Structure 1
């Protein structure tokens, strides 16, 4: 059985979005970008909520073609290859988006690699995906979806990058559902970054 992995960033006070659902309030630095590419290299499938899917779709295809359109590359040109590879992998990876509102018309230019899953079918589809051969299944963002799957016992590991920003309010990382026990596997830092990466394994409550 392959693993379902969540990779997300949150503020020091536990928010994945700032006021007004502003994700740009979080310190998404080079360490964050490098880690996400590392996780992509270990995966062959993306599982996303509709908001995250539309955000990635609206950004990465253009960066794959020309990394210079990325503000991060404009500020630091030597990360162009990292952003190009990230964009290319986002284009090529198989994608499942959980939504009751999206249609095939909403998926271009990712139509050929996208499967839309209705919310009522999400748990069954995810369980089936985990039973298939392959590399990791990876989730970026998608806070509502991964919290639901976490409570349902379908998430295997969490990579939580804790940023140095204190937002005061916003969208909390965890919902009010009963979170299963988490076991700390590793912590990482990178020189030049004030962010800390926490890697947790979700403990199987039936084990």
Structure 2
């Protein structure tokens, strides 16, 4: 059975968005990009909520063709190759998006690599995906969806990048009960104030 991996960045005080839904309040540095690319290389499927899917789709296809369109590359041209590869892998990976509102007309240019799943069937579809042979199933963003799957016992690992920022409000990372977790690894990188905490989900929340 393959793993469902949640990869998320959060503030020191536990928020995945700042006030007003401001995700740019989080310190998404070069370490953040490198970790995301590492997780993409280990995966063959992206599992996303509609908001995250539409955000990625609006940004990464153009960056895959021209990384200079990324503000991070403008600030640091040395990361151009990383952003190009992230964009290309986002284009190539199979996408499963959970939404009751999206239609095929909303998926271009990712139509051929996207499957839309309605919320009522999401748990069954995710369980079936996990039972198939393949590489990791990876989630970025999609906080509402991954919290639901976490409580349902379908998430295998949480990769939480904790950033050196205190937001004081916004959207909390966790929306409800959290199953027991076991710390597998901590990681940091020179030049970054962020820390990755990697947890195995060892039980189902009540």
Fold shared per TM-score above 0.5: yes
Aligned pairs (5 A) from 1:106-125: 106-125=106-125
Q: Could you list the runs of 4 or more consecutive aligned residues of structure 1 that deviate by over 4 angstroms after TM superposition?
A: none
Shift of 1:179: 1.1
Alignment correspondent of 1:166: 166
TM-score, L = length of structure 2? 0.98
Note if 1:65 corresponds to 2:47: no
Q: Is the aligned partner of 1:191 residue 2:182? A: no
**Is the contact made by 2:181 and 2:203 (CA closer than 8 Å) also made in structure 1?**
no
Q: Does 1:86 align with 2:86?
A: yes
Matched, 1:182 2:181: yes
Equivalent positions of 1:1-40 (< 5 A) are 1-40=1-40
Once residues 179 and 168 of structure 1 are traced to their aligned partners in structure 2, the CA distance between those partners, rounded to angstroms, is: 22
Residue 55 (1) aligns with residue 44 (2): no
1:151 aligns with 2:154: no
Structure 2 unmatched ranges of 5 or more: none
* Alignment length (residue pairs): 205
TM-score (norm: length of structure 1): 0.98
Question: What secondary structure is seen at the aligned counterpart in 2 of 1:148?
Answer: helix
Name the structure 2 match of 1:204: 203
